[in-house]
Amino acid sequence: MRAVEYVSDNEEKDQMMMEKFKNEEKWNEVPPARFDIKIEGGLCSMLGITEYGLRLSGPYSPSRIYTKNYVDLRTPDNGTIKQSEIYNLAKEVDKSEGQDGEGLWKGDYTLAQEKDGKNVFTMRFVVELTPGELATRM
């Protein structure tokens, strides 16, 4: 997966997060992912990319994937934050190249956190996945 653009609706929060990241001493390397999507009729499921290993589910068509799920995270003060992951992807097939069903999947990946029904943090990336990265199983 390649993030081609970061989209934000809150510049102030972005600045705060960038300041926080500047002070991080160590960054973890993330290996290239292979997105294993399971298709059952008009539904599909796939694993999210966060450390919680959420299985995201949603509607499927040969040209579109929409998956979503969430997890409740405990905070140090014994509260909870709802963290959700969403993929909204569409297949782009170049028919002039003679490709049969192969194509680049493009769309949005969103990671959001809410506390008490209020948005705490949202990151949205415009992403591209190659057919090799998106392994489908029927």
> DSSP state, 89?
E
pLDDT at 60 over 70: yes
Sign of CA pseudo-dihedral 41, 60, 64, 4: negative
Please write the tens of the pLDDT for every residue from 3-55: 555 666 667 776 776 666 666 655 555 555 566 788 898 999 988 878 787 89
Phi-psi region at 51: left, alpha or beta (left = phi > 0; alpha = psi -120 to 50) = alpha
pTM of whole model > 0.85? Answer: no
Question: What integer is the mean pLDDT of 63-69?
Answer: 93
What is the separation, in whole angstroms, between the first and last Cα of the chain? Answer: 22
**Percent helix, percent strand, percent coil in the chain, to nearest 5:** 10, 55, 35
Q: Give the whole-angstrom CA distance, residue 35 versus residue 89.
A: 13
Please write the tens of the pLDDT for every residue from 68-113: 999 999 888 888 999 999 999 998 876 555 445 567 888 998 989 9
Q: Which DSSP string do the residues of 28-87 spell out, in sequence order?
A: ---PPP-EEEEEETTEEEEE-SSTT--EEEEEEETTEEEEEEEEEEE-TTS-EEEEEEEE
Q: Give the whole-angstrom CA distance, residue 54 versus residue 50.
A: 8
**Are residues 70 and 83 in contact, defined by beta-carbon separation less than 8 angstroms?**
yes
